[in-house]
Structure 1
Amino acid sequence: MSSVHKPFPFTKAFFRRATLFWSCLVLSSTSMLSLAAEHVDKPANPPAVLPPENFTGRISEGYAAAKKLPDICSKLFCYCGCDKTDSHSSLLDCFTCDHAVDCTICLDEAIIARDLKKKGKSLSEIQKEIDQGFQTMYPWDQPTPALEKYRGSLKAGPVSPAADTAKSGKTESLLKLPAQPGDAKHRRYGGCCGHNHS
């Protein structure tokens, strides 16, 4: 008895099913990859703020403010320039490491955000105040992709620098600090990233 093996009939229906199968497989794998990419962009649990008790004075106060308001700090832009030098995407990133220890901009933004929240200000109001007070201190001539992404995320639209807030003391009034005479940009603040150290 001889067994005859019949070849598999490759019909149009077979090719349609095979094409459908492979299409579904490719589509599901690309959607899984995009879900994985979204997960990387938006971690479920943001990194923890370093313990404020590890520091003293204003540094401890800044870390305590960031620890108390991580949801707000993660939606604020840090204008010290760390988006370019340290790949930070928000103010919160400055406090998950020791970056803010040497940076008055980071510390001041967190403390002001805390104080504004205590006064009952909304996130968009806090963003507006921080942006108006600190954007003129941004050390780079061209906005980075991180700054552009932040500006695009604002519900009320980006705040444009007003002549009266640039170098005039808006931030100093929020902090109750005297304005510095002359070219104040990058001189009174920073101490890190792209700022002058003179």
Structure 2
Amino acid sequence: MIAGTFGLSAPALAQAQQSPSIQEVAVVPRFADGVLQGCAVNFQVIQYDTMYAGGRPVLLDGSFQIYNFGPGRVSAVLKLGFIDEIGGAHTAPSDAYLVNGLATSVDEAQHQMGSETSGFGLFGFRLGEQVTNSIVRIMTAGKFSFAYQREGGSGGVPIEIDMSQSPEKVSDWSECIDALLLSDR
């Protein structure tokens, strides 16, 4: 688990400083009462945060989830929490949104609330152009991007989740989304 790496041994620290982030990613179907209800990309990322943490490593833990609650009721959720000190507790960002090039999902935001998991925030979006672009970008390029803000901050810290080196995860996402969006509800 990448959280254990947050102690960063000397070799891991050297490797992390040479790359923009260390990532673990999993694609997970979400079921309710035995029926496919959603698809998620769960991730843990260690990235150097120059905006809020003075260039120190920050562990970002979360997921990008797509849910189908019936005709016309498809939505997306970013679930995020971060830790910026070894042994620290998760803290929820004050805001988060998807990023596609120079466009964001800010106009597609529906709700923001605390999560059932302490220290995490939930950021919900309707299925609009930018959410759709993020879904498709995972299917075609194996990547998606978002940004988060900390309490009292106004700048977004950009994060890119990259599954492109794992074709089976990209395929798992595509199969899950196809089954989710093409099923009769």
Same fold (TM over 0.5): no
Task: Look at both structures and tell me which one has the larger radius of gyration over its CA atoms.
Answer: 1
TM-score, L = length of structure 1: 0.27
Higher helix share: 1
Higher strand share: 2
TM-score, L = length of structure 2: 0.29
